[in-house]
Amino acid sequence: MQTPKLDDDAVLWQGEPAGRPLLVLLHGYGSDERDLFALREHLPSEFAIAAVRAPLEPPFPMGGYSWYPIEGLDSRDPARVTDAARRVLEWLDTAATAADSIGLLGFSQGGAVALQALRLDPERVAFVVNLSGYAPGGELPGDEALEEARPPVFWGRGSADEVIPEAAVANTIDWLPGHSELAGSIYPGLAHAVSPQEIDDVATFLRKRL
């Protein structure tokens, strides 16, 4: 099944992207564009912000939207993550042409999609913030360029996060240091969520990107 295009009418905006850096927010499984958009008051005001809605609907009874299907916690097909990332890049083709630069911030599924978009188009994505997400397995055309460019990536996760499989975390630990200028932290006692300390750390990371 092909991943549908993003719904432009569902995007929440703060500020105009023309002549400014743009931060695109990618929510997690079973959520929607309103989730991460609530963080905008804690992020640097210099960024224009766009919160987009994932294009798939999870199976009943789960509500919200998803970037790719998950059949059990250990089933995450890298090809479907790549399909979702391509849809994000296609949306950027029309929505972000006037932005000075583009960064992606994603939670969980959204974090995986953000990293995959970076791997597909390293020249377009300036940085990634990956919150409680992971780096999908396999190889992509941009990986070699990332080894040279080492773009900034923030990876934050909780020590008590039991949602992301251990194999996915291990792959991320192996992959990120060789393909990015890595920042971030493991937050003691934090489950599959975002903490105030993590948001403060993200804001600091973003200010350094200005």
In 3D, which of 156, 147, 86 has the Cα closest to residue 116?
86
Q: How large is the average pLDDT for residues 30-52?
A: 97
Q: What DSSP designation does 65 have?
A: B
* Mean pLDDT of the chain, nearest integer: 95
List the structure tokens of 86: 């391509």
Specify the long-range contacts of residues 193-202, CB closer than 8 Å, at least 24 apart.
193/132, 193/158, 194/39, 194/107, 194/131, 194/132, 194/156, 195/158, 198/131, 198/156, 199/39, 199/42, 200/42, 201/154, 201/156, 202/43, 202/105, 202/129, 202/131, 202/154, 202/156
Q: Which domains does the chain have, with CATH numbers?
A: 8-208 (3.40.50.1820)
User: pLDDT tens digits, residue range 49-105?
Assistant: 999 999 999 888 888 999 999 875 445 789 999 999 999 999 999 999 999 999 999
CB 122 within 8 A of CB 146: yes
User: Which amino acid is residue 99, in one-letter code?
Assistant: A
User: pLDDT tens digits, residue range 182-196?
Assistant: 999 999 999 999 999
The terminus-to-terminus CA distance of the chain in angstroms comes to 39
